[in-house]
Amino acid sequence: MPKDTGIRKVMVIGSGPIVIGQAAEFDYAGTQACRALKEEGIEVCLVNSNPATIMTDRDIADEVYIEPLTNEVLEKIIEKEKPDGLLPNMGGQAGLNLGMNLSESGFLDAQGVRLLGANALTIKKAEDRLLFKETMLKIGEPVAPSRVVENVEDGVAFAAQIGYPVVLRPAYTLGGSGGGIAHSVTELRKILENGLRLSRVGQVLVERSIEGWKEIEYEVMRDSAGNCITVCNMENIDPVGVHTGDSIVVAPSQTLSDKEYQMLRTSALNIICELGITGGCNVQFALHPTSFEYCVIEVNPRVSRSSALASKATGYPIAKVAAKIALGYTLDEIKNAITGKTYASFEPALDYCVVKFPRLPFDKFITAKRTLTTQMKATGEVMSICTNFEGAMMKAIRSLEQHVDCLDSYDFSNLSKEELFSRLTVVDDQRIWVIAEALRKGISYGTIHEITMIDEWFIDKLNHLVKIEARLKKGPLTKELLAEAKSCEYPDTVIARLVNRGAAAEAAKAAADDIRAMRLSYGIRASYKMVDTCAAEFEAKTPYFYSVYGENEDEAVEKLTHRKKILVLGSGPIRIGQGIEFDYCSVHATWAFRRAGYETIIINNNPETVSTDFDIADKLYFEPLTPEDVQNVVDIEHPDCAVVQFGGQTAIKLTQDLIKMGVPILGTDAKDVDAAEDREIFDEVLQKCGISRAAGETVFTAEEAKKVANRLGYPVLVRPSYVLGGAGMQIAISDEEIEQFMAIINRYTQEHPILVDKYLMGTETEVDAVCDGENIVIPGVMEHIERSGVHSGDSISVYPARTLSENVRRTIAEYTEKLAKELHVIGLINVQFIAIGEKVYIIEANPRSSRTVPYISKVTGIPIVDLAAKVMMGSKLTDLGYRPGLQPEADYYAIKMPVFSTEKIRDAEVSVGPEMKSTGECLGISKSFDEALYKAFLGAGVVLPKHRQMIITVKDADKGEAIEIGRRFEALGYIIYSTRRTADALKETGVHARQVNRIGQESPTLMDLLLGHKIDLVIDTPTQGRDKNRDGFIIRRTAIETGVYCITSLDTARALVSSLEHASETKNLEIVDIAKL
Amino acid sequence: MQAFLILEDGTVFKGSRIGADRDVISEIVFNTSMAGYPEVLTDPSYEGQSVCMTYPLIGNYGICTDDMESSRPWMDALIVREAARVPSNFRSDMSLLKFMEKYELPGIEGIDTRALTRILRERGTMNGMITSDANYDLQAILPKLKAYTCGKVVEKVSCSEKYTVKGVSDLSENGPLSGRAVFDPDTYHPEDTEEPVKHEKRPSLVRELTGIVPDGKGGTRHLSIALLDVGAKRNIAGSLAARGCDVTVYPALTAAEEILASHPDGIMLSNGPGDPKECTSIIEEVRRMYESDVPIFAICLGHQLMALATGADTHKLKYGHRGGNHPVKDLSTGRVYISSQNHGYVVDTDTLDPSVAVPAFVNVNDGTNEGLRYLKKNVFTVQFHPEACPGPQDSGYLFDRFLENVKSAAGMSGVPEGLSCAAAGK
Residue ranges of domains in chain B = 2-150, 157-409
Average pLDDT over residues B115-136: 96
A527 touches chain B (CB under 8 A): no
Q: Is the pLDDT of residue A722 over 70?
A: no
- Kindly report the nearest CA distance between residue A530 and chain B, in angstroms: 10
Beta carbons within 8 Å of A610's beta carbon, 6+ residues apart: A24, A27, A28, A31, A32, A54, A583, A584, A587, A616
Whether residues A225 and B334 touch (CB distance < 8 A) is answered with: yes
Q: What's the one-letter identity of residue A848?
A: R
By the 8 A CB rule, do A310 and A316 touch? yes
Q: Is the pLDDT of residue A386 over 50?
A: yes
Residues of A in contact with B51 (CB under 8 A): none
Instruction: Give pLDDT tens digits for A791-825.
Output: 999 999 999 999 999 999 999 999 999 999 999 99
Q: Is the pLDDT of residue B421 over 80?
A: no
Q: Among A176-185, A260-269, A407-416, A896-905, where is mean pLDDT lowest?
A: A176-185
Helix, strand, coil percentages (3-state) for chain B, rounded to 5, are 25, 30, 45
Q: What's the one-letter identity of residue A438?
A: A
- Kindly report the nearest CA distance between residue A539 and chain B, in angstroms: 8
Q: Radius of gyration (Cα) for chain A, nearest Å?
A: 28
Greater model confidence, B71 or A550 = B71
Whether residues A553 and B203 touch (CB distance < 8 A) is answered with: no
Whether residues B190 and A162 touch (CB distance < 8 A) is answered with: yes
ipTM comes to: 0.94
Residue A337 pLDDT level (bands cut at 50, 70, 90)? confident
Nearest CB neighbour to A553, from listed B115, B178, B202: B115
Q: What is the pLDDT of residue B174?
A: 79
By the 8 A CB rule, do A406 and A501 touch? no
Average pLDDT over residues B282-291: 97
Q: Beta strand pairing status for B49-53 and B77-80?
A: parallel
Nearest chain B alpha carbon to A350: B55
Rounded Cα gap, residues B218 and A1036, in angstroms? 77
**What are the distances in angstroms from CA A732 to CA A620, A718, A739?**
45, 7, 9
Using DSSP's 3-state secondary structure scheme, residue A273 falls into helix
- Kindly report the nearest CA distance between residue A641 and chain B, in angstroms: 31
- Kindly report the nearest CA distance between residue A456 and chain B, in angstroms: 6
Q: Beta strand pairing status for A839-846 and A763-772?
A: unpaired
Residues of A in contact with B94 (CB under 8 A): none
Question: Half-sphere exposure (CA, 13 Å, Cβ side) for A764?
Answer: 24
Q: What is the pLDDT of residue A751?
A: 73
Pick the CATH number of B2-150 from 3.40.50.300, 3.40.190.10, 3.50.30.20, 3.20.20.10: 3.50.30.20
Q: What is the pLDDT of residue A1067?
A: 63
Average pLDDT over residues A908-930: 92
Domains and CATH numbers, chain A: 9-116 (3.40.50.20), 145-209 (3.30.1490.20), 356-524 (1.10.1030.10), 551-666 (3.40.50.20), 943-1057 (3.40.50.1380)
Q: Is the pLDDT of residue B187 over 90?
A: no
Provide the mean pLDDT of chain A: 92
Whether residues A258 and B326 touch (CB distance < 8 A) is answered with: no
Helix, strand, coil percentages (3-state) for chain A, rounded to 5, are 40, 20, 40
Whether residues A341 and B365 touch (CB distance < 8 A) is answered with: yes
Question: Half-sphere exposure (CA, 13 Å, Cβ side) for A249?
Answer: 31
Instruction: Give pLDDT tens digits for A585-626.
Output: 999 999 999 999 999 999 999 999 999 998 999 999 999 999
Question: Does residue A945 have a cis bond before it (omega within 30 degrees)?
Answer: yes
A455 touches chain B (CB under 8 A): yes
Nearest chain A alpha carbon to B12: A552
By the 8 A CB rule, do A902 and A1046 touch? no
- Residue among B123, B95, B98 at smallest CA distance from B28: B123
- Kindly report the nearest CA distance between residue A240 and chain B, in angstroms: 17
Residues of B in contact with A552 (CB under 8 A): 13, 111-112, 115
Residue A994 pLDDT level (bands cut at 50, 70, 90)? very high
Residues of B in contact with A352 (CB under 8 A): 56
Nearest chain B alpha carbon to A527: B112
**What are the distances in angstroms from CA B182 to CA A137, A143, A213, A592, B423?**
7, 7, 17, 56, 10
> Which run of H or E residues covers position A720?
strand A716-720
Nearest CB neighbour to B88, from listed A225, A457, A536: A457
Nearest CB neighbour to A347, from listed B181, B196, B325: B325
Rounded Cα gap, residues B58 and B44, in angstroms? 19
Whether residues B34 and A137 touch (CB distance < 8 A) is answered with: no
Average pLDDT over residues A1043-1066: 88
Q: Is the pLDDT of residue A137 over 70?
A: yes
Q: What is the pLDDT of residue A638?
A: 97
Residue A195 pLDDT level (bands cut at 50, 70, 90)? confident
Sheet containing A730-732, strands listed edge to edge, beginning at the edge strand earlier in sequence:
A696-699, A754-758, A716-720, A730-732
Provide the mean pLDDT of chain B: 90
Residues of A in contact with B114 (CB under 8 A): 351, 387, 529, 535-536, 551, 553
Active-site annotation holder among B300, B326, B343, B389: B300
- Residue among A303, A300, A338 at smallest CA distance from A323: A303
Nearest CB neighbour to B57, from listed A229, A348, A353: A353
Nearest chain B alpha carbon to A255: B61
**What are the distances in angstroms from CA A410 to CA A401, A403, A431, A437, A440?**
14, 9, 10, 9, 13
Q: What is the pLDDT of residue A1064?
A: 65
Rounded Cα gap, residues A312 and A155, in angstroms? 40
- Residue among A595, A571, A600, A604 at smallest CA distance from A585: A571
Nearest chain A alpha carbon to B62: A257
- Kindly report the nearest CA distance between residue A144 and chain B, in angstroms: 7
Q: Is the pLDDT of residue A839 over 60?
A: yes
- Kindly report the nearest CA distance between residue B175 and chain A, in angstroms: 10
- Kindly report the nearest CA distance between residue A599 and chain B, in angstroms: 26
Whether residues B87 and A265 touch (CB distance < 8 A) is answered with: no
Whether residues A349 and B197 touch (CB distance < 8 A) is answered with: no
Q: What is the pLDDT of residue B188?
A: 42
For chain A, what is the total number of helices (H) and then of strands (E)?
A: 37, 41
Q: Is B387 a catalytic residue?
A: yes
Q: What is the pTM of this model?
A: 0.94
Q: Beta strand pairing status for A619-622 and A599-604?
A: parallel
Whether residues A292 and B176 touch (CB distance < 8 A) is answered with: yes
CB atoms within 10 A of CB A1028: 11
3-state secondary structure A677-711: HCHHHHHHHHHHHCCEECCEEEECCHHHHHHHHHH
Residues of B in contact with A350 (CB under 8 A): 34, 55
Q: What is the pLDDT of residue B382?
A: 98
Q: What is the pLDDT of residue B173?
A: 80
Angle, CA of B19, B22 and B24, to the nearest 5°: 105
Q: Is the pLDDT of residue A522 over 50?
A: yes
Q: Among A12-21, A163-172, B265-274, where is mean pLDDT lowest?
A: A163-172
Greater model confidence, B302 or B205 = B302
Average pLDDT over residues A55-80: 95
Nearest CB neighbour to B35, from listed A257, A274, A535: A257
Q: Is the pLDDT of residue A732 over 90?
A: no
Helix axes A129-138, A258-275, angle to 10 degrees: 120
Residue A551 pLDDT level (bands cut at 50, 70, 90)? confident
Nearest chain A alpha carbon to B190: A162
Residues of B in contact with A535 (CB under 8 A): 32, 54-55, 114, 117, 323
CA B331 to chain centre: 22
Nearest CB neighbour to A536, from listed B86, B118, B338: B118
Average pLDDT over residues A713-719: 88
Q: For the domain bounded by B157-409, which CATH number is listed?
A: 3.40.50.880
Instruction: Provide the number of CB pairs (under 8 Å) joining chain A to chain B.
Output: 234
What is Dmax (Cα atoms) for chain B? 75
Q: What is the pLDDT of residue A338?
A: 85
% of residues, chain B, pLDDT over 70: 90
Beta carbons within 8 Å of A290's beta carbon, 6+ residues apart: B90, B198
- Concatenated DSSP letters of A96-125: HHHHHHHHHTTHHHHHT-EEPS--HHHHHH
> Which run of H or E residues covers position A920?
strand A918-926
Interface of A with B in 269-308 (CB under 8 A): 269-270, 273-274, 288-294
